[in-house]
Amino acid sequence: MRKFFQSLLAKYMLLIVLAISIVQIGYLFIAIFIAGVADSFEKNDAREEYDFEWIEEKWHEETNQLDAITDKQINDYFQKWGEQFPEAAMFWVDGNGILKEQFHVDKKLPEQWTAAYTAKFIKDRYDGNPFTVIAFAGGSEANGLVVFEMPRENFSTPVEKVYDKFGSILFVGMIVIILLFIFISFLFFRGIRKRLLYLQEAMEIRDVDGLPIKIDVKKKDEIGHLEQTFNQMVDELRDSKEREQEEEELRRELIANLSHDLRTPLTKINAQTYKLTKQDLPATTQDALRTLASSVDNIDRLIENLMSYTLLMASKYKLEYKEVDIARFTRECIASWYPVFEKAGFHVHVDIDVGMDHTWHVDPNWLTRIYDNLLQNVLRHASSGKYVEIKIESVANYDAVVISDHGHGLKVDSDQKGAGIGLSIVDKMVKGMELDWTMDTNEQGTTVKIINDRLYSGKS
């Protein structure tokens, strides 16, 4: 039950109940006000006599009973009715059409009444405002007309008078109550929206470790529960990342230890193989020893690549930038590979103009390692074509070192292993030095470009 009272649903239901209560209380006060004011009007206005038919009948009846039609008698008659109806106006026009007596008449009336004016007056007053009753004095046309007039609003009920007098105030009061409810509802939902937007922003903000940050839980409603769940998720993500980092560190240490432990017996095998090659052995045995030595070299290279890749992933492979003449540097690196390719029967074509004046901002050791991995892949996967070309391509926007071969391509199945991790190292090192590279491989050969975008890097 406590959770329910702390929920947004309970708060909204409370808001609705308050709104209904305020409206009901408002209506109650309005009803009491109207009843009180109407009662006051009723006491002040002798409502039992304010009736159209009664006044009309009474006026005709008493006017017909007038016997001596004189100015005094008519004036006394007007005074009598004026006491009962102070809002009324009365006047007498005699048989000759002369205006004789007036009582509480505000507007100016003509002194002489013609038949046409009399007819027009009767027509204008028929069922109009003010309420008008016309009777013959003493019941005879010769005595002229006796006219009774009173504004129709005086015939309104007390409630109608209250609404006529205070209706606009009551209407404004109800509008204020409605607007107050709308304003409170707006504040309620604006608070919900503000908290949801705050939660959304917190989800998008990242800490130094790349994870969302925890947020303060100020209320225990539905959004507060959502915030608590979000904080729990952040804790679980942080714990998971810490476990992942610990496992990654263990894996790197394991790889490093295994690499070290494997190299020791490989060195011994390589040494013993070398000793055997110096012995006078049959040709078949010499071929087997050469194959064994080549396999040991390949295993050593794989271990070296694995170590390098692990160091790169851990960001522990030291990077030191220097200004390098790319043409001269590339020729020097290729020179060390000439004997290797020559021994394997490759035709090596180098198209590098040493007079080129293009300097790259790179780490020489990283770039050497990139060349070694790419040329090693050529030896492994392009032995069928026996051709490798190294050139430097220079255009307005970039320089590129291009290495091409005529092998069957890297997509073709091969008995040689290790190309995957070697190319992964190339990718990490190229991007680590803010360079770019592309590789196009098919059954006719493979072309790799290492690109230095001068417009992007600002280097030449």
3-state DSSP of 334-396: HHCCHHHHHHCCCEEEEECCCCCCCEEEECHHHHHHHHHHHHHHHHHHCCCCCEEEEEEEECC
Does residue 252 sit in the same domain as residue 359? no
Contact 391, 383 (CB under 8 A): no
Taking the chain (460 residues) in runs of 10, the rounded mean pLDDT of each run is 64 74 70 63 51 86 85 89 89 90 88 89 85 89 90 71 66 78 79 80 78 80 81 87 82 70 72 77 80 75 70 71 90 87 89 77 89 86 89 86 88 52 85 91 91 61
Contact 203, 230 (CB under 8 A): yes
Does residue 144 sit in the same domain as residue 230? no
Residue 217 lies in a domain: no
pLDDT of residue 449: 93
Structure-token match 């922003």, residue found: 201
CA dist 243 and 246 (Å) reads 5
Contact 162, 36 (CB under 8 A): no
Does residue 340 sit in the same domain as residue 453? yes
User: Across 271-356, where does the E strand assignment appear?
Assistant: 322-325, 347-351
Residue 55 lies in a domain: no
Does residue 271 sit in the same domain as residue 177? no
Does residue 139 sit in the same domain as residue 77? yes
pTM for the model stands at 0.44
pLDDT of residue 34: 63
Structure-token match 């490798």, residue found: 388
Contact 438, 448 (CB under 8 A): yes
Residue 205 lies in a domain: no
Residue at 301: amino acid letter: R
Q: How many domains does the chain have?
A: 4
Q: 19 is in which domain, residue-wise?
A: 2-45+158-198
Residue 216 lies in a domain: no
pLDDT of residue 48: 45
Residue at 336: amino acid letter: S
CA dist 460 and 455 (Å) reads 9
For the chain, give percent helix, strand, coil, nearest 5: 60, 15, 25
